[in-house]
């Protein structure tokens, strides 16, 4: 087991950032709303993610330069900047949900009453300043992040594995009741977007270079991708199945409007420990995603403008700090308003789907370059899987854009009344 475990590294970082609080909450919401229908969706999304991460890892190993530099040399610097800006914007949206989830994981530990707005803001400011200080003070940032992500992924897996086994060893206390109302598809789209995260896959090429892998280590890179992303899919599936078992078809409406709602609904099975166990999983998810998510946007944005792609360079660190601050600012504005934090997180997660097609197209383009021959050649099967992922991402982007628009701009009652009046006339 020693050598395979040594090869696990870059992709476990991607898995940790993808399996953030948004993924945890959206998969819980999907399990409660759709039941077992969500399970095959997770399996397919994880399979597509494995292929995309493996493709990115191979590109990082066989190309001498970074991905954005390669795109700039072939298509021009503006194309590279567009890719970097797209990913940076997605990261900023994603980062706001990490901040919101950090509050959601802390609040239930202090009782049923929510923290005040000032207390929430103080927690976020302190947390982000500590992360930024860590960013600049760590000497070997990559190795520290890799080791930290392995620990946090282990903590998340253990927390939700406990939930899974306890739930399935006890019978249901109610008979499931079919829902009569329309289903909200946004959590399902959000779960797909967080499991099949091409933004995270795109960053895998940069992590492979940080690891020092080249053409001779393509087998290690592939094994790393398969093992780590399988773990991501497995934990997501456990959360979904646990939520299905506890919440699906509950005779009383289960809104899951906050992390505390999810934790409190588990108390009949787990007792007072439910809140602690679930919040530990959420906090681990928030912390694992917090820094690395910002690093993705900062590093790729810096690379796209030609300012360096290594973690020891200054520009990736500066832009990572900027991504952290933007995410914190958006989260503070969101938390200042009343409403469901799960709803805010779900919208932020679903919006990440919109940038997937451009990133997937960039990976496929670099993978089909004719000069990649011999040991540098990209397997056609890997490209085929990536093309399937690209097509699915285009469909998801269209569906998500329409759904998010409806969520943000619902039809006004006045307009509907006017329509009714016209019909009556």
| pTM (two decimals) | 0.83
Question: Which of 99-113, 291-305, 401-415 is predicted least confidently?
Answer: 401-415
Residue carrying structure tokens 């409806």:
406
The region of weakest confidence among 14-23, 100-109, 370-379 is 100-109
Phi, psi for residue 252 in degrees, rounded to 5: -95, 140
User: What number of other Cβ atoms are within 10 A of residue 137's Cβ?
Assistant: 8
Q: What is the phi-psi region of residue 182: left when phi exceeds 0, alpha when psi lies from -120 to 50, beta otherwise?
A: beta
- Of 283, 178, 281, 197, the C-alpha closest to 238 is 281
Asked if residue 424 has pLDDT above 50, the reply is no
Domains and CATH numbers, the chain: 2-399 (1.20.1740.10)
Q: What DSSP line would sit under 303-365, residue for residue?
A: HHTTS--STTSHHHHHHHHHHHHHHHHHHHHHHTS-S-HHHHHHHHHHHGGGGHHHHHHHHHH
pLDDT given for residue 55 in this prediction: 95
**Six-digit token string for 185:** 């598809």
- pLDDT-derived band at 263 (thresholds 50, 70, 90) equals low
pLDDT at 355 over 80: no
Q: Quick check: 78 pLDDT over 90?
A: yes
How does pLDDT run across 8-64, given as a tens digit for each residue?
Answer: 778 988 988 888 777 877 888 888 888 888 999 999 999 999 999 999 999 999 998
| Residue 151 pLDDT | 84
For the ranges 24-38, 51-65, 157-171, 200-214, the lowest mean pLDDT is seen at: 157-171
């Amino acid at each position: 087991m020693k050598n395979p475990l040594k090869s696990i590294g870059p992709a476990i970082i991607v898995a940790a950032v993808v399996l953030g609080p948004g993924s945890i909450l959206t998969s819980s919401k999907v399990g409660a709303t759709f039941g077992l229908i969500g399970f095959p969706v997770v399996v397919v999304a994880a399979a597509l993610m494995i292929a995309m991460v493996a493709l990115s890892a191979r590109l990082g190993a066989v190309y001498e330069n970074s991905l954005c530099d390669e795109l700039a040399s072939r298509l021009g610097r503006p194309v590279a900047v567009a890719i970097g800006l797209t990913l940076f914007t997605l990261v900023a949206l994603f980062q706001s949900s990490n901040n919101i989830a950090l509050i959601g994981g802390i609040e239930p530990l202090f009782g049923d009453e929510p923290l005040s707005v000032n207390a929430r803001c103080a927690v976020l400011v302190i947390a982000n300043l500590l992360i930024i200080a860590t960013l600049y003070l760590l000497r070997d940032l990559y190795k520290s992040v890799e080791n930290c992500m392995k620990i946090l992924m282990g903590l998340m897996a253990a927390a939700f594995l406990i939930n899974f086994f306890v739930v399935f060893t006890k019978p249901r206390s109610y008979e499931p009741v079919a829902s009569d109302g329309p289903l909200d598809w946004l959590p399902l789209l959000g779960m797909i977007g967080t499991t099949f995260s091409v933004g995270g896959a795109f960053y895998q090429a940069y992590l492979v270079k940080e690891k020092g892998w080249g053409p001779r280590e393509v087998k290690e890179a592939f094994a790393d991708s398969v093992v780590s992303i399988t773990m991501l899919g497995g934990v997501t599936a456990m959360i979904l199945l646990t939520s299905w078992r506890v919440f699906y078809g509950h005779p009383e409406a289960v809104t899951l409007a906050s992390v505390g709602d999810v934790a409190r609904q588990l108390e009949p099975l787990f007792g007072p420990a439910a809140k602690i166990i679930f919040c530990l999983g959420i906090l681990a998810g928030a912390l694992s995603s917090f820094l690395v998510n910002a690093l993705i946007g900062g590093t790729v944005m810096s690379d796209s403008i030609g300012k360096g792609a290594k973690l020891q360079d200054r520009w990736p660190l500066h832009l990572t700090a900027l991504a952290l601050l933007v995410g914190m600012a958006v989260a503070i504005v969101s938390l200042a308003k009343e409403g469901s934090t799960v709803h805010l997180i779900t919208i932020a997660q679903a919006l990440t789907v919109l940038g997937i097609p451009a990133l997937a197209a960039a990976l496929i383009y670099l993978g089909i370059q004719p000069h990649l021959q011999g040991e540098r050649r990209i397997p056609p099967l890997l490209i085929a899987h990536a093309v399937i992922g690209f097509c699915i991402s285009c469909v998801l982007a269209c569906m998500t854009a329409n759904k998010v628009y409806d969520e943000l701009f619902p039809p006004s009652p006045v307009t509907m009344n006017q329509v009714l009046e016209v019909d009556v006339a």
